[in-house]
Amino acid sequence: MSTTLSEDLTATDVGDAPAPTAHQAGSRARVWRAFLIRRFTGLVISLVMLVLMTFFIVQLIPGDPAEAIAGPDASPTTVEAVRDELGLDDPMLVQLWDYVTGVFTGDFGESFRYGVPALDIVITAAPYTITIAFAAVAIVLVGGVSLGIAVAIATRGDRNRWLGSLFTTVTSILTSIPPYILATFLVVIFALWLAWFPPAYTLAYGYWQSAILPIAALSIGSIGGMARIVRREAAVVEEMDYMRSARGWRLPAMVRYAKHLLPNVLTTSLTLAGIILTALLGSALIVETVFAWPGIGSAVIRAIAEDKDYPVIRAAVFVIGAISLITTLIIDIVLGAIDPRTLGEDRD
Amino acid sequence: MTEITAHAPAPVAARRRFRWNGTLVTGLAMFAAVILVAIIAPFFYADQAAELTGESSLGSVPGHPLGTDTLGRDMLARTLVATRTTVLMALAATALAAAIGVGFGIAVWLAPRRLRNLGLRLIEFFISYPGLLLAIIVAAILGQGAINAVIAVAAASIAGFARLTANLASGIAARQYVSTARLLGVPAHRIALRHVLPNMAEPMLIITAQAFAGALVEISGLSFVGLGTQAPYFDYGTLLADSLSKIMTNPILLVGPALAIVIVSMSALFIGDGLAAAANPRSNAKQSQLTLREGETSALSPADDDALLVADGVTVTHIESGRELVSDVSFTIRRGEIVGIVGESGSGKSLTASVASRLLADGLSASVRRLTLGDTDLTGKVPPAELASRIGLVYQDPGTALNPALTLGSQLSDVLRTRMGMNRREARRALLAAFKDVLMPDPEGRLRQNPHELSGGMNQRAMIASAMSVKPELLIADEPTTALDVTVQREVLTLINRLNTERGTAVLFISHDLGVVRRLCDRVLVMQRGQIVEQIDDMDNLTVERAAHPYTRQLLAATPSVRLEEDKA
Amino acid sequence: MSDTLVNVTDLNVHFGTSHVLQDVSVSLGTGRTVGVVGESGSGKSTLAKALVGVVPASGGEIWVDGLDVRLATRRELAQYRRRIQMIPQDPFSSLSPRRTIAQTLAEAIEPGRGRVRPYQDRIAHWLERVGLDASMMHRYPHEFSGGQRQRIAIARGLIIDPSFVIADEITSALDVSVQAQVLELLADIRESLGLTMMFISHNLAVVQHVSDDVVVLYRGVVVEAGPVAQIFSSPQHWYTKALLEADPGSPGFTLDAPAA
């Protein structure tokens, strides 16, 4: 296998079209346009699939969805009310039509529990989740990339072997601690013993004060993972012919690493950052419950585990899905700006 | 283009020996211990784990090192007993995801084009979606419960397996043994079983170990938020959730389940890392070094003393194995001269050049009796600026020797700015002049382009322009035309020849092609297995009849050349 | 040219909007070898793929061994591909690293089940025919050098006794002395078996070495075709002349002219 595992995990050009190599000059604008058109079409298709997926959350419930949602002890009237609210009596296509038109107007139905539009509940919660997830990703990117590069430089060749071993050990331990476990440790240490931060979300401490522990819980493990990837990738890039060219020009180490190596490492790192971000969004959902953080995670888990509040579940799933899809797109665009070759990777 | 002449590739396909390493052994040992606990703990501690005692909500006390819960059950026993449920759930989810994911990935790869693209898009969609959220959705559909949690987590990791499978399969499918098998009429499913699956075993094993760790963490996470195992059954996640509710009063309860999750996931991740390291050992190449051997008699005649480059007794050793790759090679290059080194793969010609240019790769050590460029002793500390300005370098494959992420103008002017003391504008102007010098069409436009936008010949021109922009005394060109078409090769050779004639730049020209060397060089060294077998000073002697060494004659005879009249053959 | 085995007339191939092969005509008599020469982007590998029916043609006719390849049914095409063989370029990716040499050769004989035992003698015979030891059949590819691997690839191509062989750049990854040995082997087999072959290469000298006829491709167009002796001694097209003069061994080769 000539490709590294990380390439296999990230690249997805499996089409068998003959890849044109020598690009014609002066076509950059055209390449960008083609790329953007392709990606936006892809986004639209993905959003459509997302709508379908959220629709089927209710339809796929085994047995009679209305009875399952209303619960075993519900009276027939309650079951009927649920059935009516979700339109489960209508033919499937009518239900789908009603649902899709509803989604387009931002109407996911009313929350069973709170009686307000489900989307409102999710929209209120969304900024909380977005804050901690994106702050964590930013920290992971900056921290992971710089740590990885620094270690790669310090341990190149056979230099500082002890640092390499220390780095490998520490990062592998960090990456094996799931964020929600780390969250509980952080609460015990920093909230209970040291009392620097509140153990749970409270306005008494201020927003960011409360946000620090969740962000730390989300990012610390991933910094280790990111740094490992970057270090490995930097070692791979260091072996490339063009890095030998840079040594041949006798460029100062700073120029070689910052200018010639970094952009090529970033290509992989950013691709992985997309994966890490989606993973982080997922972890955030659970970490939120540790800190009683009022984000989408707390909302959706309560909606599933306690309230069977399907309109809220649908709205939450749609919003989180849309966030990850749009983020993936943004990352791809940034990647294209850094390394134009990635624009050409045609998947069709 | 597949038509590029790859000259004698290293045997990369050689099967690597499996290398055990500390990480893998640690991981396997930890995992074995976990499995052991999972098997035997319920037999010994099941009662203790369920037993309600009066000693409720204890902290760490003798007899209950990890405390007791509100019902007085021993937390250590509960954690050990929960291992079986947790590990079984994670294993089931991983196996389910792997089976379906690999199957789907292979099916996608086998499917006709349109269906395949649809399948890939589907995989992409689920990949760009948080796995835990997918698991939560499935839990929302199926309701809470251990089996549902397993299905949910498996569903969430299917896409990962499918994508890896599809990617690996497409990589393997691009191999010629697959296309050949197809042409031979081997049925698609046989190709999948015979060629594709066996060749993806290694990365698949690694990803499976990682997926197991992920599944464990996610299942515990689902149980933790109440979507997984329901009372009276319990796993790590539910124990953690119970402990969390007592975090203010009895934080010691967290230790058991938290540590257990970390240990099991760590063991799996260690196995994955260890497998990856075993498959792809990190080269711990020692830093290269160049030393001077003193007190030996020179192999060169005193007449060579005033040559531009004097390399006397170049020996290169592979540090780890102690194997000698280049043995006592001596040669000189006079000003204005083009000297060729010719040899087949493994002859040591490129290594010799890398010693002369002070660019020996890590893992190798070189020693010389003498290595001087003009008056400068290259074995000592030479300021980088001096090396940069006196030695220009051109490499084999311009497609890989240029940085894909930078424009030509940006990367090729770096040397002028950092080592020749020019500012941005001066460097740009100097590079532009050099581009014009190598007859680059539209030089201004080229400065703004990335290497992948240019043909191989144009990139090689740019590389030569950059090497010449510092006005070096010596140009070292390592197989500069091997990757190029013959007509382009001729243009590049003509260019090197002209720069040599016009500027008097000395050239060290490395090549495997005696035909090329014969036409370009003033003198030729023939290398075989790290030694110079023959030095030819008069190019008229480079014929099958006149060459002295049998290897030179053999090379000459083997070098194909066009015969213009049939009767001459 | 007694009976024509391969007859390609006005073949056109498009990849999207690019016209890769344009009105290409090649004909080849039984027992003869045609060399196809051209640089990167000339379409020479596409021609080979069109001949085996992997790349669809957008116009023209391809007749090989009495079959109209373009109009062949699926089944006819499958049978046809058992009668022609393509020897691939890269000796390192053309053999599956996880299968023994015997398994690889057995797959050529019996694609479905790929059993080794019934064909052991035949495999041994062919390994010896290409200059390898029959006892090597149970080894894995990584135990062989590039030249040996290419010999194995040749054995795989010939073991089913094909009526037509396409060799696509089979020596371009080899060292010159190894290349010489492989070419010699090929010449020997060609003579003893009366092979009909299309030999694709970027190297004029190599093509001249092994071919009876030569076709010069330039950007998808046949610029010149004919018997080797004629083309090499009096090339008519400027591109053929340029190619000949670019060969360092040719008398026309010079490094003095200003680069174009």
Task: Tell me what pLDDT residue A344 has.
Answer: 62
Q: Does B443 sit behind a cis peptide bond, omega within 30 degrees of 0 on the bond before it?
A: no
CB count in 10 Å sphere of residue B540: 8
Segment holding B239, helix H or strand E: helix B236-245
Task: Tell me what pLDDT residue C62 has.
Answer: 92
Q: How many domains are contained in chain A?
A: 1
Segment holding A302, helix H or strand E: helix A296-302
Best of C175, C210, C211 to mutate (most B CBs within 10 Å, chain B): C175
Instruction: Identify the bridge partners of residue B340 per DSSP, sorted by sequence position.
Output: B509, B524
pTM for the structure as a whole = 0.80
Say which CATH number the domain at A278 has: 1.10.3720.10
**CA–CA gap between residue B277 and residue A168 (Å, rounded):** 12
**CA–CA gap between residue A90 and residue A98 (Å, rounded):** 10
**Residue for token pair 């497998």:** B275
Rg (CA), chain A: 24
User: What is the interface pTM, i.e. ipTM, of the complex?
Assistant: 0.84
Reported residue count of chain C is: 260
Confirm or reject contact between B225 and chain A (CB < 8 A): yes
Structural domains of chain C sorted by starting position, each given as residue range(s) with its CATH number in brackets: 4-89+165-245 (3.40.50.300)
Are A260 and A243 within 8 A, CB to CB? yes
- Sequence-ordered list of residues with C-beta below 8 angstroms from that of A285, at least 6 positions apart, any chain: A129, A295, A296, A297, A300, A301, A320, B130, B132, B133, B136
Least confident of A6-20, B370-384, C114-128, C238-252: A6-20
Rg (CA), chain B: 33
User: Cβ separation of B261 and A235 shorter than 8 Å?
Assistant: no
Comparison of pLDDT for B47 and A288, the residue scoring more: A288
User: Cβ separation of C229 and B194 shorter than 8 Å?
Assistant: no
Structural tokens at position C175 = 């060292």
User: Cβ separation of B184 and C242 shorter than 8 Å?
Assistant: no
Confirm or reject contact between C110 and chain B (CB < 8 A): no
What domain range includes position A162? 125-339
User: Cβ separation of B493 and C233 shorter than 8 Å?
Assistant: no
C-alpha B311, offset from chain centre: 33
- Sequence-ordered list of residues with C-beta below 8 angstroms from that of A68, at least 6 positions apart, any chain: A61, A62, A308, B143
Q: Between the CA of residue B517 and those of B29, B512, C20, what are the distances in Å? A: 59, 8, 34
Segment holding C10, helix H or strand E: strand C4-15
User: Cβ separation of C104 and B177 shorter than 8 Å?
Assistant: yes
Q: Which chain A residues contact residue B460 at CB under 8 A?
A: none
Q: Which percentage of chain B shows pLDDT scores above 90?
A: 28
DSSP structural state of residue B268: H
Are B134 and B196 within 8 A, CB to CB? no
A333 — phi, psi (to 5°)? -70, -45
Q: Give A208-250 pLDDT, tens digit per residue.
A: 778 888 899 999 988 988 888 888 888 888 888 999 999 999 9
Measured between CA atoms, the residue of chain B closest to residue C204 is B562
Confirm or reject contact between B189 and chain C (CB < 8 A): no
Q: Give B338-366 pLDDT, tens digit per residue.
A: 999 999 888 899 999 999 999 988 888 99
**CA–CA gap between residue B404 and residue B411 (Å, rounded):** 10
Best of C47, C51, C158, C247 to mutate (most B CBs within 10 Å, chain B): C247
Nearest to A253 by CA among B418, B285, B391, B428: B418
**Residue A31 domain flag:** no
Q: Give B1-49 pLDDT, tens digit per residue.
A: 333 333 333 333 344 566 778 888 999 999 999 999 989 888 888 777 7
Confirm or reject contact between C142 and chain B (CB < 8 A): yes
Task: Tell me what pLDDT residue B352 has.
Answer: 93
Of residues C90, C97, C177, nearest to B176 (C-beta): C90
User: Cβ separation of B130 and A278 shorter than 8 Å?
Assistant: yes
Q: Give B445-492 pLDDT, tens digit per residue.
A: 889 888 888 888 889 889 999 998 988 999 999 988 888 888 888 888
Confirm or reject contact between C16 and chain B (CB < 8 A): no
Q: Where are the beta strands (DSSP E) in B452-521?
A: 474-478, 506-511
Confirm or reject contact between B553 and chain C (CB < 8 A): no
